[in-house]
Amino acid sequence: MKTGFTMGDADGVAAPVPEDRLRLTIPCRERLIHAGNVVEALEPVTLNPSGTHAHDDLSVPPSLRRGPTYPFWRVTLTGRVPLGLVLCFIQYGPDQHYGLRLDEEPPYPGEFPFDAVEWWRRGNWVPCPAPGCGAPLVWYEAGYAPGYRICARSPHHHAQLSPDGRSAQTVA
C-alpha cells in the first residue's frame, strides 16, 4: 500500500499549502509531521505588552519592545491529513490570523467563534474519506456542486465536503 506522496508525484499534482501562515499547537504540529507532512518555521512575531507589534511601535524604547513571541508555521500537505484538525481564526494584538488545533484541545486565547472560518476553508483540512487514503482534498468544483473535491493522491478519489466543511464523503 502506498503510504504517501511527494511533490512532483508522477501525475504532477502539487502538494497543497492550505494557509501560508498558521499558529499550531504542539500536538497538532507533531501529528502533522508524523503523518508525513512538511512543517516549516516562519519568522515569529513579538508583541509589546500593550499589544502592538514590537518592531512597529517607535514610541516604545527598544529595550521595552518585548512581549509575548508567537511562532508561525507553513504546512505543506505532502502526506496524510490527520483526523480532528480544527482551523481557527484568532485575534492576536492588532492582527487576526489562522491557527490549527486538535478538536479535543481548548480554544486559543482570542479565538473567534467556530463560524468565523468559512466552511470551504475549514474543508482544506479534511482528509480524503476513501478507505485507507487520507490524502489532502483539493478544489474541483468546475461544473459540480460547491464543496466538490478530489484528493491529491492518484487515483484521485472524488469527494463532497459536508455543508460545515468538517467532513467529507466519497462520491461514486
Q: Is 45 in the site for Zn ion (CB under 5 A)?
A: no
- Total of chain residues touching Zn ion, rule CB under 5 A: 6
Identify the residue among 85, 86, 135, 168 touching Zn ion (CB under 5 A): 135
- Residue span binding Zn ion (CB under 5 A) among the ranges 19-27, 88-96, 101-109, 145-153: 145-153
Q: Using CB under 5 A, pick the residue from 45, 75, 81, 130 that binds Zn ion.
A: 130
Q: From the CB of 132, what's the least distance to Zn ion, in Å?
A: 9
Residue selected from 77, 81, 128, 138 as contacting Zn ion according to rule CB under 5 A: 128
Q: Is 26 helix (H, G, I), strand (E, B) or coil?
A: helix
In degrees, rounded to 5, the angle at the alpha carbon of residue 139 between the alpha carbons of residues 171 and 17 is 130
Which residue from 151, 161, 165, 166 is in contact with Zn ion, where contact means CB under 5 A? 151
Provide CB contacts within 8 A for 115, sequence distance 6+. Answer: none
4-37 as b/e: b if 16+ CB within 10 A: ebeeebeeebebbebbeebbbbeebbebbeebbb
Q: How far is the CB of 137 from Zn ion (least distance, A)?
A: 8
Among 86, 87, 133, 138, the residue binding Zn ion under the rule CB under 5 A is 133
Q: How far is CA 32 from the centre of its chain?
A: 10
The residue (of 26 and 172) whose beta carbon lies closer to Zn ion is: 172
> According to the binding rule CB under 5 A, does residue 35 interact with Zn ion?
no
- Measured distance CA(97)–CA(90) in Å, rounded: 5
What residues are paired with 168 via a beta bridge? 161
Q: Which residues contact 165 (CB under 8 A, 6 or more apart)?
A: 118, 119, 120, 121, 122, 123, 126, 147
Nearest approach, Cβ of residue 98 and Zn ion (Å) = 24
* 157: contact with Zn ion by CB under 5 A: yes
Q: How far is CA 103 from CA 60, 82, 87, in A?
A: 39, 11, 9
Query: CB of 71: closest distance to Zn ion in angstroms?
Result: 31
Binding site for Zn ion (CB under 5 A): 128, 130, 133, 135, 151, 157
